[in-house]
Structure formats: C-alpha cells, structure tokens
Amino acid sequence: MPMPAAVLCGLGSSLPKRVVPNSRLVEENGLATDSEWILRRTGIAARHMADPRTSTGDLATAAGRAALDSARNLAGSPLVPDILLLATTTPDHRCPATAPEVAHRMGLEAVPALDVNAACAGFLYALTLAKGLVTAGLYTHPLVIGAETYTTALVDPHDRDTAILFGDGAGAILLRPGTASQPGALLAEDLGTDGSRTGLVRVPAGGSRTPFGSPGTTRKDFYLVMNGKAVYAQAVRRITASALAALDRTRWSADDVEAFVSHQANQRIIDDVAGRLGVPAARCHGNLRHVGNTAAASIPLALADAAERNLVRPGARTLLGGFGAGLAWGAHTLHFPEARPLTRSPHHADHQGAAP
C-alpha cells in the first residue's frame, strides 16, 4: 500500500517591484563599502525592496494567490485551502496576526489562520505543522506562506552589517494529501532551537522585555542587530547537523541528494554547509544573488526560482535547510514538486489597516 504523505502541489511567489542593486544601496544610504565587496562577502548583487506602503500582508496575499493559481493549473480544477499558516517575523501589526487578514483578502472566508514565528526558520516550522495537520487527517489543503518586509520594518538602512543582507518578498506553497512516491511529497524533517543564544540576532526593544517607550531606548534599539561572525559559525553547524538528521530519517545519504535548497542568507554559509554535507555545488540551488536574505520567505522563493528555471526535475530527491534567530533551525526532505510556479505583483490593501 502506498505511504500517505502531504504533497506540495502549488508554488507561488511575490516580490516588490523595486530592485536595488548593491551600487545603489551603497550610494543611497552612504554605506562604507562597495558593490564588489558586498557581492564577494555575501553573494548578493541586488534585492527587491518594498515601498513604505507595501506590507508583509500585501506580499503574502499575492504569493498565496499565485500558489493557488499554480495548484489549479496542475490539478486542472481549483483547490481551496482549509487552513492558512503564515510564517513571518514582520507581521503587519503587533496585534492581530496577519494571517486572518490575508485569508480574508484571498476570499477564504472563515478558514483557520495563524502566524508562526521562528524567524528565518519560520517557513520550515510552518511546513512541519502543515504536514502534521495533513498526515493526521485534520486538514487537507494547508496554504503555507513565508512573507517578510525586513527592509521597511526591521533593518537600519545605515547599518552596513545588516542593510546589505536583507530583501523583501513572499513565497507560498499549497499542500494536498497524496503518497510518498509522488513529486512534491514531504518525507521527513528535523527541527531544533537553542534559546541560550537569543542575543546573536535580535531586535533589542519593542517587545514585552523592553516595551515601546521604555526609558533609555532610542530609535536604534528598534532595529535588527546581528553578531555576524557568531551567526555564521552557528548557521553552518546547525544546518549541517539538521540536514544530516533529516537525511537519516529519510534513509538517504548525502550522495542521494539531487537538489539542495538552503535558506538564502549568505553564499559562503551555503557553500560551507554543502561542502560539509558533500553535496556538489551543481546540486545547490538558490536565488540569493537576486533577492538577498528574505528570512521566512527565502526557502519557498528559492524553490519557486529553481522550478521556474527548470533546474530540478520533478520527483528529484530534495533537501531543504534553514537557520535563523532564536536560534532556530530545521531541515526537510521531499521529492521536488511538479507544480509550475507562478508569481504575482503585490497589491496594497484597500485600507491601511487599524489606523485610527
């Protein structure tokens, strides 16, 4: 009897229209670096940046719609999500969650909708939850979206250490019940965290630990700060270990991996992880060069990019790995999906939401 599995059956993306190459980023923000240095150090040449009116919810809605279009094209008839999980570090509001508004804007009336926060590992976490819901028979068609607007919400444009890294965007996938041998089937995963290193990537103020208006806080305290060196070392170590754990649960060796799609944070991290795993560079797929680090949106955007460019055959043995603030990390194995990815431009909400 074929093994039941959650199957990825739709793939969508949305990127803000504005593309900012390194040279312009350096010039506009007076960063003490240059275009070549950024590319050499990070592998990033350009990123898409949201304008101030485009929010995480706008990008999520567009990517979600694109994923449903993609799924409909593959299935031959519309598939309706029965739960929406939005992985984001940059929700539209502190309260409520952004997922219910995204569901409403997509015309999904009354579906369960929740936000999941595990920073850059958020998509892998939400994917695990969605897979669990399908495997358990609780839901049939979860829509999983990763969406972020780091450049407008969290990043200090004048902080060279972070400003050069991040971009905005959203990626989305639809799941359906199927079997483990099908293209798109999710196979195994590994997730983990280490909360003793919360300080390595963080926004110091604005939460309950140091609320808005706390004495002594300045504007700088509301921006993302990162200990780049320590993050690099942890990222390499954690993604490698997590990938090995997921491979082990799938009974694959690194040689079996036909496609490795990592969280797109820094090309040197990706290369280092691939080297340690023994996955050849030709099997590593990503779009870091063109989009930068889009946090929770990164993995579905990279998956869509690889599918769009026909770089991986449907059904190919695929490994996903991610790492981020928390620290939180994860890895998944799957058969590469056959859904053709679609993309949509973000549209602003009819209103700007909760502005009194």
Nearest distance from C-beta of residue 339 to another protein, angstroms: 22
Give the CA count within 13 Å in the CB-facing half-sphere of 198: 6
Token look-up 């444009």 returns: 157
Angstrom distances, CA of residue 202 to CA of 21, 30, 49, 119: 26, 24, 21, 10
347 is catalytic: no
Nearer to another protein, 77 or 196 (CB): 196
Nearest distance from C-beta of residue 4 to another protein, angstroms: 10
Catalytic residue among 9, 117, 120, 335: 120
Two tokens, residue 107: 């015309």
284 is catalytic: no
Nearer to another protein, 119 or 257 (CB): 119
End-to-end CA distance of the chain: 57
Q: What is the largest CA-CA distance in the chain?
A: 64
Nearest distance from C-beta of residue 8 to another protein, angstroms: 16
Rounded to whole angstroms, the Cα distance separating 340 from 67 reads 9
Nearest distance from C-beta of residue 111 to another protein, angstroms: 6
Catalytic residue among 22, 285, 293, 335: 293
Nearest distance from C-beta of residue 157 to another protein, angstroms: 9
Catalytic residue among 48, 141, 263, 335: 263
Nearer to another protein, 281 or 354 (CB): 354
120 is catalytic: yes
Rounded to whole angstroms, the Cα distance separating 152 from 54 reads 9
Rounded to whole angstroms, the Cα distance separating 325 from 327 reads 4
Nearest distance from C-beta of residue 249 to another protein, angstroms: 10
Q: Among residues 252, 249, 223, which one has the least CA distance to residue 155? A: 223
Single-letter residue type at 302: A
Cβ within 8 Å of residue 59, ≥6 positions away: 14, 15, 16, 50, 147, 148, 149, 168, 169, 170, 297, 346
Positive or negative CA dihedral for 180, 181, 185, 190? positive
Beta pairing, strands 342-343 & 142-148? unpaired
Active-site residues: which are they? 120, 263, 293
